[in-house]
Structure 1
C-alpha cells in the first residue's frame, strides 16, 4: 500500500512541477495539475476491493498457455483450494482438459505481437512496447487480484508490466523462475549482443522487485541469492497424477489412433499395431513378442536442444544392427512444436534407416501422458542455457516410471541419478552405446532397463499437489 501511494504521490508531484515550469501560457498549470490531483483517485479506484478479492489470483505467462504445463498445474492447484483464477497468456495450443473444464479457471487470451518489418532492433523495440501496452490494458481491466503469479521466462516485458500493475493495485507479485531469459536469448544472439545485455539488466533490475519468488532447483535458488539478492523458495517440478504407466488396453487404443496418421505405428493385421495385437479368441490385447522398442523424446524445438545428437546416435544404432548386433528395431517418437521443427524434419527425411523409424507428431494434451506411459525408454536433449533449470519432460517421464537417457549439464544430478533411474550422456557416441546396452535384452524385464523402471516404481516421491500445498499455499494464503 505504501509503495503505491508513494508512486502516485511522486507522479502527482512531477506533474505539478512540470505544470509550473511551462511558460508562455500555452499549457496552463491547470492542464497538468488536474491529472495530478486525479491520479490518486484513479489509483484508489484500481484498488477497489470486494468480498472476493482475497480469493482471486492472476496466473500470467507471456507464452502459449497450452505449452506451459507448470503454470497450468499452478492454476489447477489454486482452483482446488477455492481460488478463482484468471489465466492470462497466448492460446495457441489447447490446454489440458482439466484446465478448460474447471469453472474456477477463466482463460484470458492475449495475442502475441509479431515483429514488424524494418531494422531488427527497431522492430523488436516496437514489439516490446506494443506487447507492454496490450498486457497493461488487460491486467488493469481485470477485477482486483490478490496475487499475480508470473512465469519467467519469458519476462520481457511482462515482469515490469506485472510489477507496475501490482504496485498500482496493491497486489502481491510472485515470480516463478524457470530459467533466466537473457541466457536463452544468448543462445541465438551471443552473450555480448546489446539486446542480450539489455535483457540481463532488465531481468536483474525488475526481477528482485517481486513480493515472493519460486524457482525450479536449489542451484537456481543459490544463484538468485548470491548474484541477485533474491530469496526464492525451491518448488521442484513434480508429475501430475495424469502421468502414470498406461494400462495395456489403453496403449492399444492409443497406438491404433496414432496408426491412422503415422504409418510407423501400423500393424500387419486388422485392429493391430506394430506393438500390440488383439487376440481373435476372446479379444484380449497382448504385446507382440517380437516388437520394436518405443523410444520417446519431447521438445519445443529450440536452440537449447540439439537433436542432431539423437539423430547421429540413431544412425550409429542402425550400424550396430547392420553389423550383426542382436538389437530390436526402434520406433522413435519426437513430440512437440517449435521454430526448428522443420529444420530437423528435413534432416530426418534425409536419413536412410531400415531398422529405425522416426515420427514427429503433435499430441493432444490427454494423449501425451498416455504415450509416455507406453514407452520403453525416454531421451532428453534439454541442455539448460543457464545450467540452473531442470527439464520438466524428465519429471513427467519419471511419473510414468519411464527410464531416461539425458544429456549432461550442471545441475542435472538433482533429478537424474546415473545408473539408478537412467543414464547421463555427453555426446552422440555415448548415447548410442547406452541405447545398445539398455536394449540388448529387450523386451526381457530382468535387464538394466527393467531395473531402472523398478527403481522408479519404488522411489516415487511427492506428486505435484502435495509439493504445491507445502511450498506455495503458505505464500498465497499469507501464512508464510
Structure 2
C-alpha cells in the first residue's frame, strides 16, 4: 500500500463487505483506480440464510449499491446483470463472460486411466467389475492398459461417468439429482437399454453430510454414487474424463452463471443444467447441453442421452462435437483481448 501502490485495485464481489469501501478508501489514499468484478450480489447470498427482508440483508444491499457506484470500472458476468446494475443501481458495467483456464481440457486416455486407477484405491466405484484374463493387464471400471504395449482402451461394457460439482448449499437443490438417479435406476430395472452409472459429486459445503446420509440409504443396484474430495490437479482430469456433467446451480440473484459449467465446457463436457433466468447466456439448449426444470425432466434427459451408450452417433457425442468446434477463448486469452483494453481506457 505505501511502498508501491498499484494503478488499479481489482475486487471481485461478492464478497464485498467490507471490501468495497476499504478498497475505495485505499484507492483514494494511493491514487489507485477501483475495478469491481461483479459475479453476484452479496446481499442476495445473505438472503438465502436470513430472508430478503432481514435488516442485515437490506443494509448489505444499500452498502453494495452505494459503494459500488464509486468504482472507476465495473465488469459483470452476464448481460442480465449488466441491465440490472444499470436499471436498479445506476451502475454502468461491461459484460465479460467467464472463461475456463487452459488446464480445463479433454483428458487423453492414458491420463484418464491413471486417474481412475488412483481413485480406485480409495473408492470402489472406480475399480474393475471383472478381473482381466491376463493378470498383467491393468483394469479400472472404465479402462484397461495392456501390459505389453501400454495401450489404453475404454471397456466396451463400461458404466457412464456422470459428474456434478456442487457447493452443497441452499441454492443448489441436490434432491433433484438424487430423485432423477432413482428414476433412472427404475428405468434400468424395467428393461430399458441403458448403462449403469457412476455419479461423482465433488465439492464441500454445509449440506454435504446430510445428503451423504441420504445417498447411503438408497438401495441402488445400477447407480453408484461417490463424493470424493479431489486434489486440485485431479478435478480438471475428472471433468476431462467424464461423459456428462450435471449442474444444480440456480443463483441467489438469478443473474450470475455457474463457473462449474464454464469449466465443464472447457473440457468439452456436455451439461444438463437446472434452468434459471439467464442460464441461456451459457447453456444453449440442444446445442451444448440440455436445460431441465425438475427431476422428471432430468431423468428423461439421462435416458435419452445414455440410450445405446456409448453411441458415437448419439446426441451426447453431438454436443461434445459442438463444444470442440466452438473454439472458445481461454482465460488468459480473454484477459488480453477483452479486459486489458477496458482497463487501459479507464
- 1:340 maps to which residue? 207
Task: Identify the structure with bigger relative contact order (alpha carbons < 8 Å, sequence gap 6+).
Answer: 2
Query: For 1:112-135, what per-residue CA distance to the aligned partner results, in whole angstroms no more than 9, with x for missing partners?
Result: xxxxxxxxxxxxxxxxxxxxxxxx
Deviation digits for residues 157-216 of structure 1, max 9, x if unmatched? 111111111112211111100001111111121111111111111111111111111110
**Correspondence for 2:167 among 290, 300, 308:** 300
Deviations 1:372-403 (A, max 9, x none): 01000000000011111111111111111111
Q: Distance in 1 between matches of 2:170 and 2:69?
A: 27
Shift of 1:141: 6.4
Residue of structure 1 in register with 2:126 after alignment:
265
* Paired residue total: 340
Structure 1 residue matching 2:122: 3-state secondary structure: coil
User: 2:64 and 2:162 mapped to 1: Cα distance?
Assistant: 38
Q: Which residue of 2 aligns with 1:407?
A: 274
| Partner Cα distance (2:211, 2:217) in 1 | 10
SS of the residue corresponding to residue 334 of structure 1 reads: strand
Superposed CA deviations along residues 249-296 of structure 1, whole A, max 9, x for unmatched, are 000001111111111111143632100011244231110000100000
Bigger Rg over Cα: 1
Check conservation: 1:216, 1:389, Cα contact below 8 A.
Answer: yes
Asked if residue 424 in structure 1 is aligned to residue 291 in structure 2, the reply is yes
> Could you give the per-residue CA deviations for residues 283-323 of structure 1, whole angstroms, max 9, x where no partner exists?
31110000100000112222111101100100111111111
Residue in structure 2 matched with residue 59 of structure 1 by the alignment:
none
SS in 1 for 2:224: strand
When normalised by structure 2's length, the TM-score is: 0.95
Aligned residue in 2 for 1:469: 336
Corresponding residue of 1:441: 308
Which residue is equivalent to 1:244? 105
- TM-aligned CA deviation for residue 474 of structure 1: 2.2
Match of 2:29 in 1: 168
Alignment correspondent of 1:122? none
1:359-370 pair list within 5 angstroms: 359-370=226-237
Tell me, yes or no, if structure 1 residue 254 matches structure 2 residue 115.
yes
1:199 paired with 2:65, answer: no
TM-score, length of structure 1 as denominator length: 0.69
Give me the CA root mean square deviation.
1.4
Corresponding residue to 2:189 among 316, 322, 325: 322
Q: What is residue 345 of structure 2 aligned with on the other side?
A: 479
Q: Relative to structure 1, is the Cα distance of residues 141 and 300 closer, same or farther in structure 2, using a 3 angstrom cutoff? A: farther
Counterpart residue number, 1:232: 93
In structure 1, C-alpha distance between the alignment counterparts of 2:12 and 2:310, rounded to whole Å? 41
- Give how far 1:231 is off: 1.1
SS in 2 for 1:297: strand
Shift of 1:472: 1.7
Task: Specify whether residues 224 and 363 from structure 1 end up closer, same or farther in structure 2 by C-alpha distance, changes over 3 A only.
Answer: same
Q: Shift of residue 142 of structure 1?
A: 6.9
Offset of residue 343 of structure 1: 1.6
Question: Is the partner of 1:454 in helix, strand or coil?
Answer: helix
1:389 to 219, 232, 256: 256
Q: Write the distance in 2 (CA, Å) between the matches of 1:368 and 1:209.
A: 38
Q: What's the counterpart of residue 276 of structure 1?
A: 143
**Pairing 1:145–2:12 present:** no
Compared CA separation, residues 318 and 141, structure 1 to 2 (3 A)? farther
| SS across alignment from 2:69 | helix
Contact 1:233 1:471 in 2 (8 A): no
Q: CA deviation at 1:470?
A: 2.4
More helix by percentage: 1
